[in-house]
Structure 1
């Protein structure tokens, strides 16, 4: 008589639970590594809270900083941050699959389900092939970005430091992390087309979503056999509209601002406008002083941060697909139409409900976090606009700041840590961690149409 196989510890967790636990465990591990002496420069002291904040910001690919990474951490510490960024961008479970491949271990069905949940794949059966393509694609794009940035940084800093700076910023940009080894981010390269366009391209590619990236590449290689998915069309269309619309509005609003675009020549203004539109989509780098932006531009930036990148990508926010479905549903309702249709395909009602749920949960979470930040505020320098911008940046894993992060107190930093964590795993995923398994109702109640809305 054969013994029944024992269930592994991991198999007892649902995909949302395992994603949440793996990120929490990696944050604690990263915090411990950053606290070790070899991770810090001589003469520097790092508190546990600062290490926890930095590890969370790196793993959740946010980029908010309470200390200067270049001045506080040694090369070893900076490499720990880069590793956390790569882990957080691609997904911890994805890296676990890479090691399973290396060890030639078979990946069972439950593990494939968890992987599909993490990379937002539709087909569980084809998820392993998708994971392989993701790794190859990531390595190629980050290597290309490193080489392009090296054309500028090697002549400026020399071979060793130039290549190091190029690789760190390429990884940080593609993973939408926002971490920079420059004290003022990329304000020193505002008019540099090579650096600005390379960083913008890396952030955009990383924010499209791995499923969309693989689908687009396959479509370009063989258009007959590989059609563009509706998901890809929605993401590409929405991303293009947000990018171009954001660049146009940023340019118009800041054109004469003496603190931002005003003193710049025409070419630099155009580059900075494009850069300023792409980076709030969870890139987190800046070529202009964010604190000097006009209120209307700050509002636009906050909106772009809230929408964020796309599902299954290295970015955060409510995601472009969610935003498109919510807007499309509202427009359908205004026009008196029934089903939501996109690119000659009907969007399922469950997808619409899921999008509305994500939008509601994100709004409720941000409102509660902002209220707590205001209640706990002890700095006269931090007003409502500073804290609101900081909260949205943390939740959307962007990393832009009105120079407010270092002025936050301990309680506010804990709130930002929680926001970065929830923003990376997703509010809906976190809600499902504590939710019960879906079950079919035995009783169907009659509908009620006499509830007044609006």
Structure 2
């Protein structure tokens, strides 16, 4: 009888299959709830915090978004800030990556099933090298964060003292590299709008965290433009171009606006424009008051937030490579060509289907979020739309309305932040059942355009 029971258990275990997408969403949800419980403890706050606000803060940190309903620097104690920093690190580098690291440290064998799960979670094309990528990910991340913290300490230790200066340096280094956008000052980093050290250090961390770990490893190992993979070439080129375009747009749209950079010296205007160009796509720091933005600038920033960072990075959005492929596909069609070429390579047709799916599902999520939050919140349309796009792109920029959201509004933003972090397609995969199509219908044309 005992043998039959064991056999039945084995059959049940085999029949229960948890997809990587379901596992990822479940573990993220578990950590968000755990983080909220820790932030609710009296030792974590300087004043009592509501459950919904603790949950919002935990979700924002775990999804490396940076939106806040309370001021991180004054409402949380050092313990609470350490909890937030821990959630940022785990959320930015990936829960599953930490799990793999623990297995490696314990000397456990990582099977093919776990490698396939990591391949999907890290958004890699090939399963080979996934474990090596995780090892490099941790070594590189901790090294860069430590170096950046030392550099920031040069500025902040003399200003704040050894204890607060070092803590602020490490906190902002972790927050910037993981593209989280959490800062310890009510004005975020606005007081350092003209500081070259702060601007260059923070933006360098954002760029390194936002281009993706596969790109960094590829550049480190090959060190030759010709030998780089297509993904790396596209990411490096597109990142450079979009940062320059963002700088120029922000400068020309806001240089006459005294509510943002209009009253600043030219050097500060350029620093602010560069900083916002880099941080808008995914990081969420700000060196200007975003509540005073021109409508055109706010809309342009929403486009950048929707595009987001690179695949396999700490950032969100539809991903820069997705946007580039959509753009190149459009240009290819306009030119009357069939094959899509990039850097002397041809893209496969299944890539285009995935890109189209990501873009359409993401658009649906944002539109639905904007519709719902405009129903629940008696606030102006533009700031609400800005908030939703920022949450989806896990950016964390706000036009100053986050704390004014109702409980329902906060829960909506939490759901959008989680969706933006794990990826819209991951949620679709969970809800949809995969079916093997064993037949094919006749083809027929349909009018378009």
TM-score interval, smaller chain:
over 0.9
Distance (Å, rounded) in 2 between the aligned partners of 1:265 and 1:282: 27
Residues 308 and 318 in structure 1, CA contact (< 8 A), matched pair in contact too: yes
Matches within 5 A, 1:204-283: 204-220=207-223, 223=224, 227-283=227-283
Q: Is it true that 1:453 corresponds to 2:448 in the alignment?
A: yes
Q: Is it true that 1:422 corresponds to 2:427 in the alignment?
A: no
What is the aligned length?
444
Matches within 5 A, 1:269-418: 269-378=269-378, 382-418=379-415
Distance (Å, rounded) in 2 between the aligned partners of 1:279 and 1:425: 20
Q: Is it true that 1:17 corresponds to 2:31 in the alignment?
A: no
Matches within 5 A, 1:166-181: 166-181=169-184
Residue of structure 2 in register with 1:34 after alignment? 39
Distance (Å, rounded) in 2 between the aligned partners of 1:383 and 1:237: 37
1:60-110 per-position Cα deviation (integer Å, ceiling 9, x unaligned): 000000011111111111111001000100100000111111111111111
Distance (Å, rounded) in 1 between the aligned partners of 2:147 and 2:281: 21
Note closer, same or farther for the CA distance 1:106–1:144 as it changes in structure 2 (3 Å cut).
same
1:387-421 per-position Cα deviation (integer Å, ceiling 9, x unaligned): 00000001110000000101111111110000000
Aligned residues: CA RMSD: 1.8
Q: Is it true that 1:92 corresponds to 2:88 in the alignment?
A: no
Distance (Å, rounded) in 2 between the aligned partners of 1:117 and 1:83: 24
Q: Is it true that 1:49 corresponds to 2:52 in the alignment?
A: yes
1:373-395 per-position Cα deviation (integer Å, ceiling 9, x unaligned): 111123xxx20001000000011
Q: Could you tell me which runs of 5 or more consecutive residues in structure 2 were left unpaired when the two chains were aligned.
A: none
Distance (Å, rounded) in 2 between the aligned partners of 1:38 and 1:109: 43
Distance (Å, rounded) in 2 between the aligned partners of 1:292 and 1:344: 45
Residue of structure 1 in register with 2:157 after alignment? 154
1:279-316 per-position Cα deviation (integer Å, ceiling 9, x unaligned): 11111000011111111111111110010101111000
Residues 391 and 416 in structure 2, CA contact (< 8 A), matched pair in contact too: yes
Runs of 4+ in structure 1 over 3 Å off: 3-11
Residues 64 and 88 in structure 2, CA contact (< 8 A), matched pair in contact too: yes
Note closer, same or farther for the CA distance 1:10–1:134 as it changes in structure 2 (3 Å cut).
farther
Distance (Å, rounded) in 1 between the aligned partners of 2:133 and 2:200: 28
Distance (Å, rounded) in 1 between the aligned partners of 2:370 and 2:390: 12
Residue of structure 1 in register with 2:61 after alignment? 58
Distance (Å, rounded) in 1 between the aligned partners of 2:256 and 2:196: 21
Q: Is it true that 1:102 corresponds to 2:102 in the alignment?
A: no
Match of 2:144 among 141, 158, 163: 141
Matches within 5 A, 1:78-89: 78-89=81-92
Residues 42 and 48 in structure 2, CA contact (< 8 A), matched pair in contact too: no
Note closer, same or farther for the CA distance 1:108–1:396 as it changes in structure 2 (3 Å cut).
same
Residues 39 and 75 in structure 1, CA contact (< 8 A), matched pair in contact too: yes
TM-score (norm. length: structure 1):
0.95
Distance (Å, rounded) in 1 between the aligned partners of 2:127 and 2:432: 22
Matched residue of 1:140: which SS?
helix
Q: Could you tell me which runs of 5 or more consecutive residues in structure 1 were left unpaired when the two chains were aligned.
A: none
Matched residue of 2:341: which SS?
strand
Distance (Å, rounded) in 1 between the aligned partners of 2:344 and 2:25: 36
Note closer, same or farther for the CA distance 1:409–1:9 as it changes in structure 2 (3 Å cut).
farther
Return the offset for 1:239.
1.3
